Amino acid sequence: MLLFNNNASIDANNNTGSIINNPDIYFNKWSNKSWVTLGDSITRANGYQSIIKPILGFSNIDNQGINGQTMAYQNKNKSTYTMGKNIDYNKYDLVTIFSGTNDFRYNKKLGSIKPLGSKNFDKNTFTGSYQLLIEYILSSNPNIDLVLITPIQRNRDGYNVNFRNKVDSKLIDYVNTIRELGNMYSVPVLDLYSESGITEKTMDTFTRDGLHPNDVGYKRISEKIYRFLLNI
């Protein structure tokens, strides 16, 4: 188990989680760097950022998560896309996008992946708005580290991993789109849907309501993000 404290470190050679005494080169990757986090209420709660910041030494973490936010464009509320396209990414070294569960829950059309640089991205779909945001970020600052994070599994409001929403999509369909976008844009994807250990069987351990992580859940997610960031 990874120890979450200011002196914590993991083995840079084998990723086994064993403690080493001189991890400076490995850990200094993010020292004094700036990170902006985009997402929904899981991001807004500041559960993973507050754990990771002192360990990796970020100088600043700008939390831009908004409760109930979808990636796809909304008329009444800001979406991750509309909010994200107004950020100056030249101020940051890292941006993470942790989005998708609300698009599934609020029945946002999945849409289809278009070629890079397309003039026909549909901001009203999950895929179109996601591509617009990725291209805006990378054109604004080509040197920024961009990481896509898939939604964790869920079981709330009847919207679980087996449920098809009103636009005939399962949560895994949104997850698969994120995976494909990572490949297309050559940016890393942290697949928490498949690698967090949060499933229907463990939901009571890691979440407070079948969706939002509890303290144990945020420690679990933080460990996954922490290890991932050290290897990109």
pLDDT in tens, 157-193: 999 999 999 999 999 999 999 999 999 999 999 999 9
Strand, helix or coil for residue 148: strand
Residue 82 neighbours by CB under 8 Å, 6+ apart = 73, 74
Within a 10 A sphere around the Cβ of 127, how many other Cβ atoms? 25
Farthest-apart Cα atoms in the chain, separation:
53
DSSP assignment, residue 200?
A: T
Banded pLDDT at 75 (limits 50, 70, 90): confident
Q: How far is CA 226 from CA 45, 54, 140, in A?
A: 17, 11, 25
In DSSP notation, 20-69 reads -S--HHHHGGGTT-EEEEEESHHHHTTTTHHHHHHHHT-SEEEE---TT-
Please give the average per-residue pLDDT across 50-71, as a whole number: 96
pTM, two decimals, is 0.89
Q: Are 163 and 104 in contact (CB under 8 A)?
A: no
The CATH class for the domain spanning 24-229 reads alpha beta
Banded pLDDT at 8 (limits 50, 70, 90): very low
